[in-house]
Structure 1
């Protein structure tokens, strides 16, 4: 098979790799498409230190079964990349993302992941999608599930006025999730005009970050950026008692205005990945073919052009919000 192999900051190449062996309880998947995630890009640039030389990344994916006892060959699937131990209290509760020894496909250096023509996954992590839906939409389930879990963690409900900070793929997922959960109003803050335009095509009102201070009426904020500046904006634009969900991972450490939390009794809530039930629910929503999905992937490249796509994104030369790498296309 061919795979996209990370060799260090700014260095990623298409190379031959041995086809993976299928262990008992696993499925062999021929990958159709894999999205370039912001965490992949930050790994490529060396910013997050969570990607390692020799690693095959990729976790936003869709493919068809080649081999395995659990599903018939040809079955269309997406993959829940969160791997729990299966025996701890968190796993027993269905929250493998909180497992003390969790691993994540695409992040764990020992797992050859979805930027490859073939990959193996535990059968329990494959989620079946129906034939007849656009195949590439299966690669959107994972980021959409991240946004859905953030909205669930924030307790978004019908009377809420929601602010989403950041209009990139995770911010888009948060906004869509808030609407799925019935939020009264959803506003998205985003500095880049092209991303604001995409969010508006999804049917949401947008604003520039500089204007947030005058709109301090939101009782739920979903921070899809994750920086000191974005959290400061979240506090400035939210009501006393507001719920602020931190789902973005721009920086591992941030500075917090403690009084903005304590004296106004705001709650700061962490959100990471998703439980399996929410991934499944998001896959079912994607399978229903909501029209918004047509706007989410705005560029596609074959595997051979993936190194140039990474380089262009890192240099700020590409304006795409979500690039899908189409495996098997020359």
Structure 2
């Protein structure tokens, strides 16, 4: 990864120029950096978990509700105009969508400036710390997964994987009023962070996590798998009640093996979850704004662009950073120094 000079982008009709403040390092960015998932290309500018301020609009001017200087985030799932009506509330299903940070043809937001469609820009709530805006995208992933799993608030829920997505799932579940949440996570640092959020953490390396659940009330109603591996799915199926639901949101392995009997004879429902709808994204912004203390706890490190290559290398090699790492293109806030 290298720092490079690029021309300052100019917004076209219907677009907004955002001066980037913070962009989070996503697990998918790490996989792109290592070449693990093939969903990034050499030479592209990545970045999609972003907050910043509006610097300029395209020639058609400011749309209703947005002004220069507004603190904003943006939904990176971009649809062509002709698909927006057909795919309302399921924008992620549009076969012609592109994703800022994934699409190699578009400069994304590990940069000082990014141009995005005005319809994808969301103004942050008054008083919301700008750095918290970079948590909206992973929270939208978590919210969509929880909704796909049909969680209403009354269920007992296990989250497999206590990284940034699993942590965001915890934020969502707590906001929904779920009283009994467990998180299975191998990293001691992440388990400590989870416990600081008031949630029981299970160490799967210390024994069978299903046995650990058995000592805490038995199998759960819903499992959110934020890992996505043969092992994590096996734990998810075994750790859920007969007739329970498992939601796969993690993408740790492109191919996995499943015990089909756990699904058929156990009448379990296995659902997938990928990105989010525009409604999920807006609701996630409200969740983050309404839970500032949790949002603070989810940010473990803020670095400058000159340190990004080192951070990516360390994360790819398993560096145990408990929560989210943000790359700052603005002055680093005092609490993060």
CA distance in 2, matches of 1:63, 1:287: 15
CA distance in 2, matches of 1:297, 1:48: 25
Q: Look up the SS of the partner of 2:54 in the other structure.
A: strand
CA distance in 1, matches of 2:233, 2:90: 26
Give 1:263's aligned residue: 265
Aligned partner (choices 111, 116, 138) of residue 116 of structure 1: 111
Give 1:95's aligned residue: 90
Give 1:34's aligned residue: 23
Give 2:335's aligned residue: none
In the alignment, is the contact (CA less than 8 A) between 1:161 and 1:185 conserved in 2?
Answer: yes
In the alignment, is the contact (CA less than 8 A) between 1:148 and 1:278 conserved in 2?
Answer: yes
Residues 1:138 and 2:133 aligned together = yes
Give 1:275's aligned residue: 277
In the alignment, is the contact (CA less than 8 A) between 1:154 and 1:244 conserved in 2?
Answer: yes
Q: CA deviation at 1:196?
A: 0.3
In the alignment, is the contact (CA less than 8 A) between 1:81 and 1:125 conserved in 2?
Answer: yes
Q: CA deviation at 1:174?
A: 1.2
Give 1:219's aligned residue: 221
Aligned partner (choices 167, 175, 181) of residue 180 of structure 1: 175
CA distance in 1, matches of 2:265, 2:288: 41
Of 129-138 and 165-174, more deviation after overlay is shown by 129-138
CA distance in 2, matches of 1:321, 1:294: 10
Aligned partner (choices 43, 48, 65) of residue 59 of structure 1: 48
Q: Map 1:239-318 to 2 at 5 A.
A: 239-318=241-320
TM-score norm. by structure 1 comes to: 0.93
In the alignment, is the contact (CA less than 8 A) between 2:153 and 2:173 conserved in 1?
Answer: no
Report the aligned-residue RMSD.
1.5
In the alignment, is the contact (CA less than 8 A) between 1:302 and 1:329 conserved in 2?
Answer: no
Moved over 4 A (4+): none
In the alignment, is the contact (CA less than 8 A) between 2:87 and 2:94 conserved in 1?
Answer: no
CA distance in 2, matches of 1:318, 1:186: 23
In the alignment, is the contact (CA less than 8 A) between 1:90 and 1:96 conserved in 2?
Answer: no
Question: Which deviations, in whole Å up to 9, do the C-alpha atoms of 1:152-209 show, x marking residues without a partner?
Answer: 1111123200000000000011122122222231100001110000011111111112
Q: CA deviation at 1:130?
A: 2.9
In the alignment, is the contact (CA less than 8 A) between 2:163 and 2:322 conserved in 1?
Answer: no
Q: CA deviation at 1:289?
A: 4.1
In the alignment, is the contact (CA less than 8 A) between 1:29 and 1:67 conserved in 2?
Answer: yes
CA distance in 1, matches of 2:315, 2:102: 19
In the alignment, is the contact (CA less than 8 A) between 2:300 and 2:321 conserved in 1?
Answer: no
Aligned partner (choices 19, 22, 27) of residue 11 of structure 2: 22
- Runs of 5+ consecutive residues of structure 1 not aligned to the other structure: 1-11
TM-score norm. by structure 2 comes to: 0.91
Tell me: CA distance 1:290–1:329, structure 2 relative to 1, closer, same or farther (3 Å): closer
- Runs of 5+ consecutive residues of structure 2 not aligned to the other structure: 333-337
Give 1:207's aligned residue: 202
Q: Look up the SS of the partner of 1:78 in the other structure.
A: strand
Tell me: CA distance 1:139–1:221, structure 2 relative to 1, closer, same or farther (3 Å): same
Q: Look up the SS of the partner of 1:163 in the other structure.
A: strand
Of 255-264 and 178-187, more deviation after overlay is shown by 178-187
CA distance in 1, matches of 2:133, 2:127: 12
CA distance in 2, matches of 1:91, 1:38: 30
CA distance in 2, matches of 1:88, 1:19: 29
In the alignment, is the contact (CA less than 8 A) between 2:159 and 2:181 conserved in 1?
Answer: yes
Give 1:229's aligned residue: 231
In the alignment, is the contact (CA less than 8 A) between 1:85 and 1:91 conserved in 2?
Answer: no
